[in-house]
Amino acid sequence: MQKPIYFVSKALTGSEINYAPMEKFIYALLLTSRRLRRYFQGHPIHVLTDLPVKHVLNRPEISGRLAKWAIELGSYEKITYLPWTSVKGQVLADYLAEMTGELEVIHEQTQLQPVRGETWDLFTDGASCAKGAGAGLILSSPNGEEHTYALRFNFDATNNEAEYEALLAGLNIVIKLNITKLRAYVDSQLVSNQFNGSFEAHELSMQKYLKLLKETAEKFEHFELAQVSRNQNKKADALSKLVALTFSHFQKQVWVEELPSKAIDGSLVIVAIEEECPNWMNPIIENMRNNILPENKDEARLVRIRSPMYTIESGILYRKSYYGPLMR
């Protein structure tokens, strides 16, 4: 059973009030880790959240205060981010946030967070104009909470190519968040009908996009793609058109990423390195995955000291760097 033993509270002042919701959450976690340092250093910490915090903190392109916070939080050995499974503890946190003077009180936070395996909704739209091309993504959880993402393309693309790029980028983001069931919605009749088999892909580029889309869709336990009208997809549509023109001011509220090349170009090929024999990395990996330490006390102490400096992403061991990017 849950037994609250301590609370940390702070009213946001000055520029802190203008932080994006994600920044406020990470800032709250950072303040808590500073006040409860002995707990964070001595015990595994499970952070229940409906936000993709781990994905954001591990982004190699983060900078500024987020990069500093990521480095400080990365110094703790065991911080695990889990979806909400109960609202009991969250009710207390919401109450403290309200009583501390938080300006933005989102009542949806008290709703039950869906467990992994429930179907999420993804709305995507791509836009291309003379000044550039971009995409807007709206990821909606089963209880209606929305996460917004924007992409700007550093390459020329037609409207149809932009639609495909937006959908593929959205699927890759969803896969990184370990979502297994997805309904995707696009307002492009061509993309929807080509995937469902009603239209044929005659152009070579469309054939490549269609093949890549089908290969990506097979990674989900359940995947649906449907066409919606522009009125039903107006949020993603407006975001894609705006980010195609300018996006510098979006980064306060929307996560913006630049894509250097088309998904079908295949110019960048990343191959996972397979280790042929046991080496110095194996004890660290075993400790991080299964909490297993070597029998030798000196070796166990060394592994315990080294482990917080590393992280495992997609089964590969990376070392954390001071500026944020993970190093192989």
The span from the CA of 189 to the CA of 199, in Å, is: 9
Q: Which residue has the higher pLDDT, 133 or 204?
A: 204
The span from the CA of 137 to the CA of 140, in Å, is: 10
Chain segment 160-218, per-residue pLDDT in tens: 888 888 899 889 888 888 888 999 998 888 888 889 888 888 888 888 989 999 999 99
Give the 3-state DSSP-derived string for 127-159, with helices as H, strands as E and coil as C. EEECCEEEEEEEEECCCCCEEEEEEEECCCCCH
Per-residue pLDDT band at 274 (split at 50, 70, 90): low
Q: Which residue has the higher pLDDT, 39 or 244?
A: 39
Q: How many domains does the chain have?
A: 3
Q: Does 7 map to a domain?
A: no
Q: Does 273 map to a domain?
A: no
C-alpha dist (Å) from residue 94 to 32, 50, 52? 15, 13, 19
Per-residue pLDDT band at 43 (split at 50, 70, 90): confident
Both structure tokens of 58: 């591990």
Q: Does 315 map to a domain?
A: yes
The span from the CA of 159 to the CA of 178, in Å, is: 29
Cα dihedral 95, 97, 102, 104 in deg (nearest 10): -70
For the domain that residue 153 is a member of, what is the CATH number? 3.30.420.10
Q: Does 89 map to a domain?
A: yes
For tokens 């044929």, name the residue.
Answer: 200
* pTM to 2 decimal places: 0.48
pLDDT higher than 80, residue 255: no
Q: In sequence order, what are the residues at sequence separation of 6 or more whose Cβ sits closer than 8 angstroms to the Cβ of residue 9?
A: 96, 99, 100
pLDDT higher than 50, residue 270: no
> In this structure, are 149 and 198 located in the same domain?
yes
Q: Taking the CB of residue 54, how many other CB atoms lie within 10 A of it?
A: 17
C-alpha dist (Å) from residue 76 to 82, 84, 104, 296, 326? 17, 22, 29, 24, 16
C-alpha dist (Å) from residue 45 to 29, 40, 42, 196? 11, 6, 9, 44
Question: Which of 251, 263, 72 has its CA nearest to residue 164?
Answer: 263
The span from the CA of 127 to the CA of 133, in Å, is: 6
Domain that holds residue 44: 14-110
Q: Does 276 map to a domain?
A: no
Mean pLDDT of 78-98: 71
- β-strands 222-227, 255-259: how paired? unpaired
Domain closes at, from 50, 82, 110: 110
Q: Does 94 map to a domain?
A: yes
Mean pLDDT of 27-54: 86
| CA-atom Rg of the chain in angstroms | 22
> In this structure, are 175 and 255 located in the same domain?
yes
- In 3-state terms, what secondary structure has residue 80? strand
**Phi, psi for residue 164 in degrees, rounded to 5:** -65, -45
Q: Does 9 map to a domain?
A: no
> In this structure, are 253 and 160 located in the same domain?
yes
> In this structure, are 312 and 232 located in the same domain?
no
Report DSSP state, residue 17. Answer: G
Bridge partners (DSSP) of residue 89 are none
pLDDT higher than 70, residue 48: yes
Q: Cα 43–47–50 angle (5° rounding)?
A: 170
> In this structure, are 250 and 313 located in the same domain?
no
Q: Does 181 map to a domain?
A: yes
> In this structure, are 168 and 290 located in the same domain?
no
> In this structure, are 234 and 288 located in the same domain?
no
